[in-house]
Structure 1
Amino acid sequence: MKSNFLKAAATCVVMALATPASALTFVLDFDTVGSSDIFGSTTNAFNSSPFGFSGLTDSEIKLGVLNTVTEHFRSYPTVGLNPSSPLPVGQELDIDFEIGSIGSAPTNGDTDYFFMQIGTAVPANPGLFGQACLSCVRNAAGFGPNFGVTSGDVVGSIYTDAISSIAGLAADNDQLFNLIAGTTSHEIAHTLSLEHAGAQAVNPGQSAWGVMGSGATSMPSSQRVLDREFTYAKFGQLIGSVGLRDVTTAPEPVPLPAMGWALLAVCAGLGTYGRRAKKKAA
């Protein structure tokens, strides 16, 4: 959920434009007790018990959420695999994610970092799944931080006690990851200038709604357990906000001609070529 305060600030305050940063890190804090975000909202440590994860330790659950968030921003198909994508081949968003503690700099050494607190709301269940400031980390042109926010601030909160109220919609652990990670990515994207999607829109995920879909704009909760991705338009906005860098993982395959695909399918026994080796939930 966007902060009405900073949404108004985005339209009414003249920003002091900073030099666009070359890198950006979001640190996910699951464990700090009594931490507060820039709005004064307080959370205690994340409690996984109400979700009903099967056969996973707390550390594995947190890592699963981190990986799913990272995939939303960093595993988007390039135009080489999906002609509708705004992402060039061999490029990825210039953004990183890790698990850490509020007040401690990320282990990657990045000096431009912000925290998202993920845990039980105090007082419990505030009636929303999360909140974050709009455009406070970067605006759509890539400038920031803005509105008095500085590196090291807690720019949003994810209320897992509220999210757990719909955990019964999930069929497996991956779908449970999607419930938490979907809200987390949604709120992070608010800080990077993205607003709510008002309707269904085309995206490369399973869901008819992108990551910026919201119950406030009529998205049913059943969509939250699916593999939601940013819509092509919203991801294009992220590119303007965060910038790009060369891919730091294994090179992405270059699309083959139609006949080449047919031969590959026959030889390798593949029915289709997906963009991920491991299916994830959103």
Structure 2
Amino acid sequence: MVPMRTWHMVHDISAQAPYRVHNSNIGVLSPLSRRPGSGFLSGSSTRNAVLARSTSLISSLTSTLARPFFASLRERTRLANPAVAALSTDALLYSPSVVGLRRDDADHFELTNDDFDGELDAIPADPTTKELETPPAVNAQNQRAMGEYVAPYFMNVISAAPILAGAFRSTSQTSSEFESDRLLRQTVKSRIARVLRLFAARGDTTLVLGAFGYEEGTPIAMVAQIYAELLACSPNPGDVTDGEFRNIFQKVIFAVPAKLHSSFRNTFEMRIFEDELVRSLESC
């Protein structure tokens, strides 16, 4: 699993959502593939596999109620038009009260990270890594077993299918690359907005969002801009989703690969700055 860094935005909300369901107000976005858990039993280190190993999510993904979701996912891949198939499905799977059981596979020590916590951070071992199997892997700095079990905690997980951006670009029959990127951005933004809308409807106030679709070819800058427009920018008559979720959530944590952290944060903040600059000029 690649190292992850987190960055969050916080809003003080005077009036919380009128209701809250289940045992937690923490919402986690999980990009999902056609296989529940993305091969977590074979040692895969994707984010989905990490969640499957670290939580009870796999019980929800393999339940009878989840079958229509995966059926729709498979049906989309069989469509005759490869460009449409690459857009996957807008269906969402909401798994309430998922239990966290162990430390995240990506927990690691990073002494330069301001969020470093010697009691909570660890370097877990991938059980498929031979040199870490014997003796049991132990973190040298706190002598704790890597990937150890923790006190159970709850979260609500939305599983959503990311757009296969690379496949869409290569098969799209649009008039230009610009038009292809415009359609891709529109679809990604619509899907993320659906996710945020469901979190809000369920009363989740603390969100953990990742680089949705990046591994499938969606540029990280595009993902960051979309998050900024939905969560932090002002309402825009030209796009009703802009600013739709501004100040709706109490805290939003962006968990992205460490190598993308600076690019994601700079793009996110620049998009907000552009929005503020436009609003300032319009008010003059």
TM-score by length of 2: 0.29
Higher RCO structure (Cα 8 Å, ≥6 apart): 2
Higher alpha-carbon Rg: 2
Greater share of residues in helix? 2
TM-score by length of 1: 0.29
